[in-house]
Amino acid sequence: DTGVSQDPRHKITKRGQNVTFRCDPISEHNRLYWYRQTLGQGPEFLTYFQNEAQLEKSRLLSDRFSAERPKGSFSTLEIQRTEQGDSAMYLCASSSPGTTQGTQYFGPGTRLLVL
């Protein structure tokens, strides 16, 4: 059983550029979450998918952020016109209705640095 995978693991970009991250959840998990974590903070919720439907978005998710999960499998998170404040670890997690109380399992994360 493979875990959650994310790609790339690291991304360095210049301010103003667009970046896209990919997340592949655990195969039988239909729920997928994106979180952002900055140094010294816990992960903060960004958005949630159940199958292909985006059901919840945090106020943290500005207009520059967009997420998709077109076929209910992998998901992408795009940040347009990146800002230095976007530098963070972007974490993806997945869960299944069958897992106890919706336990979420995290991928390794994508670390973004905006110069």
Residues 16-35 that bind another protein (CB under 8 A): 31, 33
Contact between 91 and another protein by CB under 8 A: the answer reads yes
Contact between 53 and another protein by CB under 8 A: the answer reads no
Contact between 44 and another protein by CB under 8 A: the answer reads yes
Total number of residues binding another protein (CB under 8 A)? Answer: 25
Tokens of 19: 């970046």
What are the beta bridge partners of residue 22?
7, 76
Report d(CA 51, CA 48) in Å as an integer.
Answer: 10
Contact between 106 and another protein by CB under 8 A: the answer reads yes
- The pairs formed by 36-40 with CB atoms below 8 angstroms and a separation of 24 or more are 36/60, 36/88, 36/89, 36/90, 36/91, 37/88, 37/89, 37/90, 37/91, 37/109, 38/87, 38/88, 38/89
Contact between 55 and another protein by CB under 8 A: the answer reads yes
Contact between 2 and another protein by CB under 8 A: the answer reads no
Contact between 48 and another protein by CB under 8 A: the answer reads yes
Give the binding site for another protein (CB under 8 A). Answer: 31, 33, 40-45, 48, 50, 55-56, 89, 91, 95, 100-109
